[in-house]
Amino acid sequence: MRLPNSRQWSSLKRPHEIVDKPQLFVEGASANDVTQGQLGNCWFVAACASLAGVKELWHRVIPDYKDQEYGELHPGIFHFRFWRFGEWLDVVIDDLLPTIEGELVFVHSRERKEFWCALLEKAYAKLHGSYEALEGGNLSDALVDLTSGVSAHLDLTVGGYTDDFEKRKQLFKMMAKEMNEHALMCCAITPHSHEEAEMRTNVGLVKGHAYGITAVRKINIGDTGLFSIFKGAQKIRMVRLKNPWGEREWNGAFSDGSPEWSKVSASEREKLGLTFEDDGEFWMTFDDFVEHFTDLSICFLINTKVFSLSKTWHETVFVDAWTIGIRGHNSDRAGGCPNHKDSFLRNPQYRFDIKEESDDVIFQLMQKDTRDRKQEGLQNLVIGFHIMKVEENRKYRVHRIHESIATSDYIRTRAIFLREQLKQGRYVIMPTTFKPDETGEYIMRMFTSKDANARELTLDQPRIRWYSCVKKPVLVTTITVKGAFNLEKQSAFGGEADAYCLIKCESEVVRTPIEKGTSDPKWDTTAIFYRTKPGQPIVLEVWNSNLLMDGFIGRAEVMAPINPNVTQVELPLFGRRKEKTLEKQGKLVVQVYSDDDLTSI
């Protein structure tokens, strides 16, 4: 759609100059209210349509909505809120709206007296500097701005959903669950060329155009003739969509007035609130949805409330920047993606802990929006992030690339999403630009089941003050306890051990997870020590976890002189105190590395 020049606007008018007795809302807000105008911002309009269906959300965006309703003495001032870069921002506007021949130019409601969506669009345009700045955009960005949620993009063409029934079933289940949790969803069909943009397909859908998803349901078809059509299923998986244009609907199965609806009971149609108006809202089967749409955006609303019946998450937020500075200084934090091995580790680094045996973790990296400077040619950076498994007691910056756990996509977009299942342990996440020496501000959000004890790693090595009586470390050592084998039985009935290992070095102790019910535990736990007494051995003790008192299994010592090559050794187990020389059953397998360069790892 071509954006009308401001000279084409006959005037800016207030709602009371357009209609008699204007209202902010007419019978509340609904997806059917929102109709796109002469601005190519279907991405924002589709998000608004989704927002309108969830009162808890639009009450936050339009606060004190009852007090803002039009009345005889209304001042013509409105207050809206948008979530931007980690905080809710207040935007105050007047109610002068662009018109042509007395009609609104941009977003408007199907009910002529209702103005909430037109005013919301104006506030969003003010946030970005102009209406023109809203021309063309990202579904996910609008969803996040309206909710503070975390938005994910799914490419339906590469997920195997069209061919794999089980994958389709799981996707539908996830969408239905998240919709019940008030997640917002939008979808689109990616055009293959610029000429295809806004081209209508033979089933009535528009390419390059954003649709809001307003319902995800199973529809009961009971004992109707639809069994023959839908392979005997008693329920059909379906979605309801909203075209922001308020017209041009799907014309396939279950479209408005299609014969399939006559086979669905009147009571079921009533539950759905089914209407056959040319209002841009329509139903389609989930199979058809997956077949015809290519892109799906889901904005997850993360529950961080302590007192809640649904799952709660702990949120960790870092607000920071990629900066260029003197090499080796903490101002030099723009190293690029993992492809750039010489500079990659210069990026900001954040450590965090997974305390459960495993945890479902959500990550979002967001850079500052450049939409308000689009006319200057400024665009988003290509961004992403990398996650490494590190030593359990890592306190200082990583200087050698560790085991890679996950790497996000690298995309020129405002925000990157990733959801990963991580095992117990300590990790380091590094948000990066794609190329080195690119600068910009960002916010890194992380959601875990429990407090992740997250910290930014700023120091390269231990810092010893000149006035301190503490000796300066002369050696850095990493020791990985791979596991043990043939441990002695622990219970009176000859049961297997619930074994763990303590790694002790110069008053510091690191503990492995517990491996239950085995004589051959596999821990694969690494600790790092900055040692002032390199002549002292590192002590390892194996214990059996018990409810009342843990039982000692065996003890080993390992010397770790300078050896920058990782060496693996098997260590026999011995007793404690008076039994130090008594060899016990079982052996430990460990890997050791030591270097006098404290920034070698």
Residues taking part in catalysis:
42, 209, 243
Beta-bridged to residue 81, according to DSSP, are 90
Q: What 3-state DSSP class applies to 178?
A: helix
3-state secondary structure 111-133: CCCECHHHHHHHHHHHHHCCCHH
Could you count the other beta carbons within 10 Å of the beta carbon of residue 352? Answer: 19
- Rg over alpha carbons for the chain, rounded to the nearest Å, is 30
Give dist(CA 594, CA 601) in Å, integer. Answer: 10
Cα 405 to chain centroid distance, Å, stands at 17
Cα 372 to chain centroid distance, Å, stands at 24
Task: Report the amino acid identity of residue 398.
Answer: V
Task: Report the amino acid identity of residue 458.
Answer: T
List CB contacts of 18: < 8 A, sequence separation 6 or more: 97, 99, 102, 103, 104, 112
- Contact predicate 571/558, CB 8 Å: yes
Q: Please state, in angstroms and as integers, the Cα–Cα distance from residue 454 to each residue in 317, 364, 423, 508, following that order.
A: 9, 15, 16, 20
Give dist(CA 378, CA 387) in Å, integer. Answer: 29
Nearest to 244 by CA among 89, 110, 397: 110
**Strand runs (DSSP E) across 73-231, as ranges?**
77-84, 87-94, 97-100, 103-104, 108-109, 150-155, 184-188, 211-220
Tokens of 536: 């002292």
- Contact predicate 252/116, CB 8 Å: no
Q: Please state, in angstroms and as integers, the Cα–Cα distance from residue 473 to each residue in 414, 464, 503, following that order.
A: 43, 9, 18
Give dist(CA 123, CA 195) in Å, integer. Answer: 32
The residue behind tokens 């979002």 is: 364
3-state secondary structure 450-463: CCCCCEEECCCCCC
Could you count the other beta carbons within 10 Å of the beta carbon of residue 175? Answer: 21
Give dist(CA 565, CA 356) in Å, integer. Answer: 32
**Percent helix, percent strand, percent coil in the chain, to nearest 5:** 20, 35, 45
Give dist(CA 525, CA 170) in Å, integer. Answer: 34
Task: Report the amino acid identity of residue 17.
Answer: E
DSSP type of residue 171: H
The residue behind tokens 């491996």 is: 515
Concatenated DSSP letters of 295-315 = EEEEEE-----SS-SS---EE
Beta-bridged to residue 121, according to DSSP, are none
- Contact predicate 18/12, CB 8 Å: no
Beta-bridged to residue 90, according to DSSP, are 81
The residue behind tokens 């293959």 is: 192
